[in-house]
Structure 1
Amino acid sequence: MAQLVITGRIATMANGATEQPARGRVWIDGDRIVAVTRGRKRVTGFSRARTIDVGDALVLPGLLDMHNHLAYNALPLWMEPGRNEPWLHNKHWPDADTYTESITEPAWVYAKACPEALLAYVQVRAMAGGATSVQGWPNANRGYPTVVRNIDSEDAGTGVDNLIYTSVGTKKGEALTIAVRRMGDGSGFIYHCSEGQRGSRVLADYTELERADGLLPTLIGIHCCAVDAADWTKWNDQAAGGVVWSPLSNLVLYGQTTLIDDVRAREIKVCLGSDWGPSGTKNLLGEMKVARIAADHFGYTVTDGDIVEMVTSNPGTLLERCWNRPVGRLVEDGFADVVIIRGRGPGDDWSRIVAAREPDIALVIINGVPRYGDHDLMKDAGATATFSTTIGGRRRRIAVPDPARPEKAWSWKAITDTLDAVQADPQAAIANAQARAATGPRFADDVALELFLDMPDTRRSGRAGPPKNPATVKIPAVPSIEHDAAFFDLLDQSPIQNGVLAPLRGRFLP
């Protein structure tokens, strides 16, 4: 496998943000980091390695997006027309009048008619924000390869894909007992838990976990925004696990968010997740800025260094408990996942990372392979089978393989043309999906790919299924990869967040 040496200002995150970035090198051999050195120190055995010098740019561990629903990320932000009151909880808004037609049906058509193009689009969207690993991949009728690391099924070299279990639905009774037993055996459990307003009924998700002795070091609770200060004290800091914070989604839906200071007081690791297209940011660059805005608004004692930890070393600590291999840190034997960011604006390095926009992502390396970045850096890093497109006003080279010919790059035009064709004619796309499904057995290694949605639809008895009337299905235009004026125009129309998020526009647009 290829060797690569990266020279720049290295933020190892080995001890979080307590150590400032310093000039040095990251030494990569195949899919692992061999060493990280300071100054001019060299490592033997790399005489034939490719080398790149990124100057004053910051070299960080690849960012970890710990909460998403990727099958929905070709959809724009959604607000229920006429709705001014915050939703009570996550069992509430799936019953909205326009939820099925605006979210479930368009996502279902993409997932069935053009799953390969959908997966390509959402992975580019994640990498455009510096992510190398994402949680929240759609299940499928067969396996499918990814270039972005799949947190849900990563085997960390063990050959076992159940190191982490996930659940969007609430666990009760025997199902909850099994989940707690698995955590006791060392598996991680990434759990959508107590998502809603404080005082709402979904607090029971958390209190039932506590009664079942499920507040454990390998629990990673997504949202937990309904948990009040008193209940956070029930999580013993000697068994602290993690919480995934998605503040934009919380504010857009509920008008409030997780009590981050109370979480951190229990030594619980806070991570960030950009969540899905209908109520989330486009990528982690957006969510970091929302974390900054929300922390300032609610008076949380969160620094910019803390926010960088939320997308690197904090989730890395939690995942390493399950994978038994370093991630989220640039350290020996860690995953060779690296992002190079040109810091933006004044302040210290952590502030300049939080302020970074899509044009500031210089290079993304996943498992030792250059996958996304500036043309010259991708070339120097040895990228092969790439296509070119413009994102964030910069020309990019991107290595996403064509599913029909994995040795070749899939063109960005082919990916977006496929999505646009589905959007323009949903009825033809539905017919195409039906034809794909009819080509043979539904579940086999060589059948046409079919993705399954992971979010509920209470208007369909809890199941996100096919359109009841295909003739009426309409799909909104595919949004851009980066945060743009169209995104902020929709965000400004959200009455529930009550203007708290208004500063976000100025942190992305001139």
Structure 2
Amino acid sequence: MSELVIRGVVAAMVDGDTSEPAPGRVWIRDDVIVAVTGPNKTVPGFAQATVVDVGKRYVLPGFIDMHNHLAYNALPLWSEPGRTEPWLHNKHWPDATTYTESITEPAWVYAKACPEALLAYVQLRAMAGGATAVQGWPTANRGYQTVMRNVDAEQVDTGRDDLIYTSVVTKTGDALATAVRRMGDGAGFIYHCAEGRQTSRVLRDYTDLENAEGLLPTLIAIHCCAVDAQNWAKWAAQDAGGVVWSPLSNLVLYAQTTLIDHARAQGVRICLGSDWGPSGTKNLLGEMKVAKLVAKQLGYNITDRDIVEMVTTNAGVLLERCWHRPIGQLVEGAFADITVLRGRGTGSAWKRIVAATERDVSLVVIDGVPRYGDAALMHDATAQPTFAMTLAGRKRAVALPDPANPAAAWSWSAIKNTLDTVQQDPQTAINTAQARAAAGPRFADDAALELFLDMPDTRRAGRAGPPKNPATVTIPPVPSLIHDTAFFNQLDRCPIHGGVLSPIRNQF
């Protein structure tokens, strides 16, 4: 049994509570929050607990990234050369001339040749932005362990893997009816829905759901940027579920984004997702800033606190409907997922939290285990084992296990060198991937790990598969873990958003 107490300025993010962050303590036993108290109150049974004093830093529920495609996050931003017109919808741009060579093939090589290093990189990148839980993990030929919470597969000690269903593929007919029936039985459904420009054909994803009586409290619809005001009004308030908003990706691809005010008017809870490397932000800290910028430009009545709720409370309330255990709120019985941030700038606590960058992420605790943070705080939290690295100008300690020896920490140099080796010589990496797959039964419990891509490639009959000509595969250098000049320069070269997103550069 482990016990951890975090003392700082607590922003509990309890649903419906509008109080300001205040000095306090969060009391954790194993993977559960036992209590949240003021700074001077004690809780019985914690006499031997490790106490971490984070001073005036903010102690928040762990950030929840509700939309991603993690297998693609070792790739940089992408735009089709010469194209300035918005894509119509998510079934349009996979036909782009450079899509397969720029996205599918490089991602496939990483997923097959070095899946362990890829998983380590994407988790570190997400934690560097304060996330403790992510949706959008790749499926695989066998099970694999993660240090971050896997929204798609969380069992909550039930032994069941059907608490939430996810789908990138559009559902129709019997498949849609099955999804609606499962929601009626209490399961969550995280569904790519109506991703594209308003009036485009993908609006039917949403209207089909409405006609099938599938606009329900356990529906978590991703994007819905094609849904117009009239159709938002069809989601009855008593059945309001959630929508995941990824404004940077929407604007980079479609020059439009979700009508958030119309969704909120129906009681639909808005969450944020950083989406994927080819058209998304690096992490939730980036997406929060994009949300604030876009909300201001479109005249949405969204406050800084609202944005913080989009990565904590809102996602937590939706997931609790399926998991029947609190998350995204610092309350008794909740998952012990904690994000500690320095505030940046001046103004309200909420403004300073939204303004935080990767440099300000001080500590990330997942399931009661310190996984990432400032070296001094990780030391105080007795995090073991860890590797050291410098990220965003600060010395960090990271607790990511070595897949070859789970009792030891994997080093950042080993992770990065593995990815770089694949990037620099994809032809040898493809041969390595083939050898891994041929080493024994592919789907045995002890088989070499293979990850499967979840995004379509219409030029390959709908499936993202191996390169047709391995000799021509090229892979761009692995991007940095944080928002940097290279990211913003590439964002400026993405013409479809028309410069709307360029001011984000000045917020990092």
SS of structure 2 residue aligned to 1:406? strand
Q: In the aligned structure 2, how far is the partner of 1:15 from the partner of 1:252?
A: 32
1:237 corresponds to 2:237:
yes
Q: In the aligned structure 2, how far is the partner of 1:169 from the partner of 1:91?
A: 10
In structure 2, what is the equivalent of residue 265 of structure 1?
A: 265
Q: In the aligned structure 2, how far is the partner of 1:316 from the partner of 1:174?
A: 30
**One-letter identity of the residue aligned with 1:159:** G
In structure 1, what is the equivalent of residue 441 of structure 2?
A: 441
SS of structure 2 residue aligned to 1:15? coil
In structure 2, what is the equivalent of residue 397 of structure 1?
A: 397
1:507 corresponds to 2:497:
no
Contact 2:342 2:360 in 1 (8 A): yes
Contact 2:430 2:470 in 1 (8 A): yes
SS of structure 2 residue aligned to 1:496? helix
Write the deviation string for residues 195-218 of structure 1: whole angstroms up to 9, x where unpaired.
Answer: 000000000000000000000000
Shift of 1:16: 5.2
Shift of 1:19: 1.5
SS of structure 1 residue aligned to 2:495? coil
Q: In the aligned structure 1, how far is the partner of 2:256 from the partner of 2:302?
A: 17
Shift of 1:285: 0.2
Q: In the aligned structure 2, how far is the partner of 1:381 from the partner of 1:139?
A: 33
Q: In the aligned structure 2, how far is the partner of 1:198 from the partner of 1:345?
A: 37
Shift of 1:393: 1.0
Q: In the aligned structure 1, how far is the partner of 2:443 from the partner of 2:13?
A: 42
Shift of 1:39: 3.2
In structure 2, what is the equivalent of residue 194 of structure 1?
A: 194
Shift of 1:101: 0.1
In structure 2, what is the equivalent of residue 352 of structure 1?
A: 352
**One-letter identity of the residue aligned with 1:79:** S
In structure 1, what is the equivalent of residue 82 of structure 2?
A: 82
**One-letter identity of the residue aligned with 1:311:** V
Aligned counterparts, 1:422-501, within 5 A:
422-501=422-501
Q: In the aligned structure 2, how far is the partner of 1:188 from the partner of 1:198?
A: 26
Shift of 1:15: 2.8
Aligned counterparts, 1:289-300, within 5 A:
289-300=289-300
SS of structure 1 residue aligned to 2:353? helix
1:314 corresponds to 2:314:
yes
In structure 1, what is the equivalent of residue 115 of structure 2?
A: 115
Shift of 1:507: 0.1
Shift of 1:17: 6.4
In structure 2, what is the equivalent of residue 228 of structure 1?
A: 228
**One-letter identity of the residue aligned with 2:170:** T
Ranges in structure 1 where 5+ consecutive residues have no aligned partner? none
SS of structure 2 residue aligned to 1:106? helix
SS of structure 2 residue aligned to 1:53? strand
In structure 2, what is the equivalent of residue 132 of structure 1?
A: 132
Q: In the aligned structure 1, how far is the partner of 2:164 from the partner of 2:74?
A: 26
Q: In the aligned structure 2, how far is the partner of 1:349 from the partner of 1:112?
A: 44
Contact 1:17 1:305 in 2 (8 A): no
Write the deviation string for residues 286-314 of structure 1: whole angstroms up to 9, x where unpaired.
Answer: 00000001001111111010000000000
Q: In the aligned structure 1, how far is the partner of 2:39 from the partner of 2:147?
A: 32
Q: In the aligned structure 1, how far is the partner of 2:346 from the partner of 2:469?
A: 54
Q: In the aligned structure 2, how far is the partner of 1:161 from the partner of 1:9?
A: 36
Find runs of 4+ consecutive structure 1 residues off by over 2 angstroms. none
Aligned counterparts, 1:162-241, within 5 A:
162-241=162-241
SS of structure 2 residue aligned to 1:297? helix
Write the deviation string for residues 385-414 of structure 1: whole angstroms up to 9, x where unpaired.
Answer: 100111111111000000110000001000
Contact 2:88 2:254 in 1 (8 A): yes
Contact 2:74 2:277 in 1 (8 A): yes
**One-letter identity of the residue aligned with 1:376:** A
In structure 2, what is the equivalent of residue 35 of structure 1?
A: 35
1:386 corresponds to 2:386:
yes
In structure 2, what is the equivalent of residue 281 of structure 1?
A: 281
Contact 1:33 1:334 in 2 (8 A): yes
**One-letter identity of the residue aligned with 1:362:** S
Contact 2:292 2:307 in 1 (8 A): yes
> Please, which moves more after superposition, 430-439 or 35-44?
35-44
Q: In the aligned structure 2, how far is the partner of 1:412 from the partner of 1:159?
A: 33
Q: In the aligned structure 1, how far is the partner of 2:404 from the partner of 2:475?
A: 26
Aligned residues: 508
Contact 2:7 2:39 in 1 (8 A): no
In structure 1, what is the equivalent of residue 148 of structure 2?
A: 148
In structure 2, what is the equivalent of residue 248 of structure 1?
A: 248
Q: In the aligned structure 2, how far is the partner of 1:19 from the partner of 1:467?
A: 54
1:419 corresponds to 2:416:
no
Q: In the aligned structure 2, how far is the partner of 1:15 from the partner of 1:222?
A: 22
Q: In the aligned structure 1, how far is the partner of 2:394 from the partner of 2:458?
A: 42
Write the deviation string for residues 357-416 of structure 1: whole angstroms up to 9, x where unpaired.
Answer: 001000000000000000010011110010011111111100000011000000100000
Write the deviation string for residues 226-256 of structure 1: whole angstroms up to 9, x where unpaired.
Answer: 0000000000000000000000000000001
Q: In the aligned structure 2, how far is the partner of 1:220 from the partner of 1:183?
A: 10
In structure 2, what is the equivalent of residue 94 of structure 1?
A: 94
In structure 2, what is the equivalent of residue 49 of structure 1?
A: 49
SS of structure 1 residue aligned to 2:257? coil
Q: In the aligned structure 1, how far is the partner of 2:102 from the partner of 2:499?
A: 24
Q: In the aligned structure 2, how far is the partner of 1:214 from the partner of 1:465?
A: 32
In structure 1, what is the equivalent of residue 374 of structure 2?
A: 374
SS of structure 1 residue aligned to 2:370? strand
**One-letter identity of the residue aligned with 1:174:** D
104 and 385 in structure 1: CA distance in 2 versus 1, 3 angstrom threshold = same
In structure 2, what is the equivalent of residue 8 of structure 1?
A: 8
1:335 corresponds to 2:370:
no
